[in-house]
Chains A and B, each alone.
Chain A
């Protein structure tokens, strides 16, 4: 049975996607479609060295013989890869030297997105490497970081300025042959962030990148590489929004993390790509490969993600626990509403001795959405004393959505301890009534209950993000009650 309050809440569902504006800027675009010429165009635009062009071409040739993965619990119409643009950059003469040179319209866009580029960034202690479509246009806080020897720049810039580091680590965690979308990314990636933290350095601020897809029909293929050298620490934040469009857009990013001895990397994502409208029209296809290698002993990588957007989410941020005593963590909230689909989870590959991993996944499903947790815990023969704990909870809102859990466990070392717990629950009419009797609207009640449900995960986000994420959780479920 439905309350009038629920009906009223549903009408709020039609509320506009807050970030659905389009910035009108002349773009420097590659010809439509995908070919070796497109790749050469991209590589030339970026003045890339020969080895990188070769690497891209090898990936492209391999990709031509690959097929899209079909094992995920997602459905979509075939993607026409020739119907997209693979390079789109705002037109500038030589690239901006300072903030003053940055197109004011761009800055306005960031303003709307809430990206603190000016003093706000400094006050908040956030250094923002803002990626607009494919090119990094403004990087703040560079000086401070340079003093510490921290490299934080766009991938294109790193290719030119730190070619040795890039060459050494690019593709070392996610090889170009890894999977269909990662291979495509390797061929056509345009930009992304590069971070290197030298031995023993504790990065004093959160590094943050806001990616934004602006130009129509542009696939976004950013590639991010983060290296924490021995004993280094870095926390990296990634936030995403995209304008509202009827057609689906492809986002196939790759993120590689490398942690050496006793290094720690925290990678946090709040993903709010346009999810499509309430009938499932439009929205981003978010097919992303994220993987971290705990290469050194006692190194630690933790992924925290809050996935509220995208029409389809296909992503499995993973940890390869190579170094003895290394730790991998995965904390995830995935919210699907209306006709969104999410198939997301993680892989924890235990290779070294006494490696530990922790997985907490919270899936929330409303409307007609489908939400799948898919996770693999693999313990290899040498991983003496490996431990994993997985907690996998699903929350359903309404009667038309689905929650699924697909945990895979493969242990080849008898000393390993692997624990898996799973629950499924529903927001009940009684809970909503109880909250409303205390004066809350249905939306407030849902937001409160869902935030409570996600608490174990949200507490792993850096403070600045946690507040934003909590609001987002509420907004993305508006209209879900009933």
Chain B
């Protein structure tokens, strides 16, 4: 069942989010709102908590939420299981995609797509229908068909894994897309192909949270807002020009901020 939603509410609204891992506080009061239709970039030094934020949003196990709320289309996101969030349109492109030996991409993606379709009350695709769909999307993103016959992420190069994440995103047609350093590891041409694929998915209903270390991908995806995450907090927010500024200055100015 798709969840009841409030169409007036922002797509994502994070308020004072605090989270611990292994007893250590990593997120120290995050405030971040992404209205539908917008692309927000999050940048920040290594270890500042960017992936942690993406995992908390996706519902990964092992994070203790000590304070704050996260509303997704007006509803309490943190109460949902990971698969419910996924079915409701949250997609995380992993910084480190996971290898699943023995499971072909074709089977994995078909199962995933049909889980989501079932949830949306749509009919499941059979092997032939799915093959047609996946062929088209794979071609768009320059993913070779032979990669779908291989086990998920097994033995893929760094760049191949990232393209594969983009393919999954295109197939699942999510509403909120979280890209955790999807650009890292992609060669110059692949970056362009993937960025264009992502850009094609922009729409008034959709929103994106693009975590990156580099300006380059933002040249393609043109963010509405740029945030700096440092020491578990949003240290600064601004327009696209903020990313250019960071490229020059680095993160030294944020050193030692926040408790």
Contact = CB atoms under 8 A, between A and B. Distances in A.
A440 B115 contact: yes
Interface stretch (A118-126, A280-288, A366-374, A449-457): A449-457
A73 interface: no
B86 interface: yes
**Which of B59, B61, B101, B111 has most A Cβ within 10 Å?**
B61
**Which of A425, A442, A452 has most B Cβ within 10 Å?**
A452
A202 B113 CA distance: 42
Interface of chain A: mostly helix, strand, loop or mixed: helix
Contacts of B83: 5, 436-437, 439-442
Contacts of A4: 81
B81 A453 contact: no
5 contacts: A431-B98, A438-B115, A440-B83, A448-B108, A452-B103
A278 interface: no
B61 A439 contact: no
Given A1-B61, A452-B107, A436 B101 contact: no
A434 B116 CA distance: 14
A449 B81 contact: no
Interface of A: 1-5, 8, 425, 428-431, 433-442, 444, 448-449, 451-453, 455
Contacts of B91: 437
Contact of A438 (B59, B61, B86): B86
A430 B60 CA distance: 9
A429 B92 contact: no
Contacts of A433: 58, 60-61, 82, 98
A1 B62 contact: yes
B100 A437 contact: no
A449 B151 CA distance: 10
Contact of A437 (B86, B107, B109, B151): B86
Contact of B82 (A425, A436, A453): A436
B233 interface: no
Given A435-B108, A438-B86, A425 B115 contact: no
A436 B86 contact: yes
Chain B: interface size category:
20 to 34
A239 B62 CA distance: 42
A425 B102 CA distance: 12
The 5 closest A-B pairs by CB, nearest first: A452-B102, A452-B103, A438-B112, A439-B115, A434-B98
Given A436-B81, A440-B83, A452-B104, A430 B115 contact: no
Given A448-B103, A449-B103, A437 B58 contact: yes
B86 A449 contact: no
B30 interface: no
Contacts of A430: 98
Interface in B99-127: 99-104, 107-109, 111-113, 115-116, 119
Nearest to B90: A437
A25 B57 CA distance: 58
A437 B92 contact: yes
Given A1-B62, A5-B83, A452-B107, A431 B112 contact: no
Nearest to A5: B81
Contacts of A448: 103, 107-108, 111
A4 B60 CA distance: 11
Nearest to B62: A1
B60 to A, nearest CB: 5
Contacts of B62: 1, 429
A444 B119 CA distance: 14
**Which of B92, B94, B100 has most A Cβ within 10 Å?**
B100
A434 B98 CA distance: 7
B168 interface: yes
B159 interface: no
A440 B87 CA distance: 8
Contacts of B56: none
Contact of B61 (A429, A452, A453): A429
A453 B116 CA distance: 24
Given A437-B92, A440-B112, A455-B102, 8 more contacts: A433-B60, A437-B58, A437-B91, A438-B86, A441-B115, A442-B83, A448-B107, A453-B102
